[in-house]
Amino acid sequence: MEELKIIELKESVFADNDAEAEKLRGDLKARGQFLLNLMSSPGSGKTTTLAKLIESLKGRYKIGVVEADIDGAVDADEIQRETGARAIQLHTGGMCHLDAGMTRQGIESLDADGLDLIFLENVGNLVCPAEFDTGASKCAVILSVPEGDDKPLKYPLMFEKADVVILNKIDVLPYFDFSMDTFTTYLRARNSHCDLIPISAKTGEGMDKLASWVADEMEAWRK
């Protein structure tokens, strides 16, 4: 009897995506373009944070945005209206993440020639986006105070993948049972090297520090 052939589809999908992601990263590097992958759950303030970041950085850099959602164009419309940045909306057709191929398609459709900085606003959840390398230069995870201080324990891969964790909505810390010490302990158990930047996108607290982080990482990437 012929030996049964077993194909590990998931491993194959990840391997193919990883190869495409490395190629995209190399292409971006060669063009001097910095791609920041923003990941978070819905309601964390991702789009508001992004709009504030663009306002802080657009005087120095040419910026574009790739927005990803299962459906709708609300975020891309908001970014263009509020910041004037070039933006495009990607519909994932029901998929809960972006992969490297989708990201490349978005960047090409954005007409990214001449851009210095591209923000990729990934689909809103704390699970699937962490599994797929998009080809980004760096990855940022946004968590908001109302979501709770235990999220690094519940969604470890997301926080392990982060180059920076942005803790948003610190203006409401007094009203929620959120311990900064507990959150930091759980985060460091998963990721000892990432930066942690507390902000309030609503009040602007911490936004200068976050904008400086993005600028510094971009300049280092382009050297």
Least confident of 109-113, 182-186, 209-213: 109-113
The yes-or-no verdict on residue 105 having pLDDT over 90 is yes
* 37 pLDDT higher than 70: yes
* pLDDT score, position 96: 79
> Which residue would you say has higher pLDDT here, 75 or 80?
80
Mean pLDDT of the chain: 91
Cβ atoms within 10 A of the Cβ of 129, count? 26
For the segment 67-92, the average pLDDT, to the nearest whole number, is 83
Predicted TM-score (pTM) above 0.95: no
pLDDT at residue number 45: 95
Longest CA span, the chain: 70
> Average pLDDT, stretch 92-100?
81
Q: Residue 183: which residues within 8 A CB-CB, separation 6 or more? A: 149, 150, 152, 167
Q: Which residues pair with 141 in a beta bridge?
A: 39, 165
Could you tell me the two tokens for 109? 């459709």
Contact 92, 98 (CB under 8 A): yes
The torsion of the CA quartet 41, 47, 53, 58, rounded to 10 degrees, works out to: 140
pLDDT at 73 over 70: no
